[in-house]
């Protein structure tokens, strides 16, 4: 019988992997031309959401204490600025590769965490605050980012042809 914390980390990691698998399945079906389209009239384009999710996931590396952000050149176009504010975006092909590399790297780190390590603080909370608010841990970050992914995945699904 597994310990409760191991059960919980399995739930969180399974759901993270599950949302990523759904996103990858969708991205494999969408052409580069599909990703150039807006998810709805006047709203973000698919390519912007792909870059945005990639940058957010890349920034999880330092936040979770796994290392430096690897693709910081994406931040301006996909985190600071809104869609269409930056003209020279990376190619869709490059973005697809960076997306895969980022998630592979991140998920590999997550898969190695012990139940106790999931409960450790993330890097943007101080020791003092963490003592008072012990839920501000790695698990909370991953649950929050899985929800963020689900949110934009719901939008990206609108690009799918019937």
Q: Is the Cβ–Cβ distance between 51 and 82 less than 8 Å?
A: no
The secondary structure of residue 162, as a DSSP letter, is: -
Minimum distance, C-beta of residue 116 to a second copy, in the bound complex (Å): 8
Q: Pick from 1, 7, 32, 16: which is nearest to 103 by CA?
A: 16
Place of tokens 């919980």: 8
154 binds a second copy (CB under 8 A): yes
Q: Which is nearer to a second copy, 74 or 149 (CB)?
A: 149
CB–CB of 78/88 below 8 Å?
no
Q: Does 121 bind a second copy (CB under 8 A)?
A: no
Among 10, 73, 81, 84, the residue binding a second copy under the rule CB under 8 A is 10
Residues in binding contact with a second copy, number by CB under 8 A: 38
Site for a second copy in 134-153 (CB under 8 A): 134-135, 137, 139-140, 143-144, 146-148, 150-153
For 65-88, give one letter per residue: b (16+ CB within 10 A) or e: ebeebbbeebbebbeeeebeeeee
Chain residues that interact with a second copy, rule: CB under 8 A: 1-2, 4-5, 7-8, 10-12, 14-15, 19, 39-43, 115, 119, 134-135, 137, 139-140, 143-144, 146-148, 150-155, 157-158, 162
């Amino acid at each position: 019988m597994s310990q409760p914390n191991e059960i919980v980390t399995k739930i969180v990691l399974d759901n993270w992997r599950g949302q990523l698998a759904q996103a990858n399945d969708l991205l494999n079906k969408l052409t580069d031309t599909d990703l150039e389209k807006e998810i709805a009239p006047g709203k973000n384009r698919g390519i912007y959401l792909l870059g945005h999710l990639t940058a957010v996931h890349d920034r999880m590396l330092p936040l979770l204490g796994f290392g430096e952000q690897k693709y910081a050149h994406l931040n301006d176009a996909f985190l600071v600025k809104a869609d269409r504010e930056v003209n020279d975006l990376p190619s869709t092909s490059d973005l697809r590769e960076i997306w895969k590399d980022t998630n592979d790297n991140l998920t590999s780190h997550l898969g190695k965490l012990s139940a106790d390590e999931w409960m450790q603080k993330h890097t943007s909370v101080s020791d003092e605050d963490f003592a008072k608010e012990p839920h501000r841990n790695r698990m909370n970050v991953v649950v929050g980012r899985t929800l963020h992914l689900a949110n934009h995945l719901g939008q990206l699904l609108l690009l799918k042809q019937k």
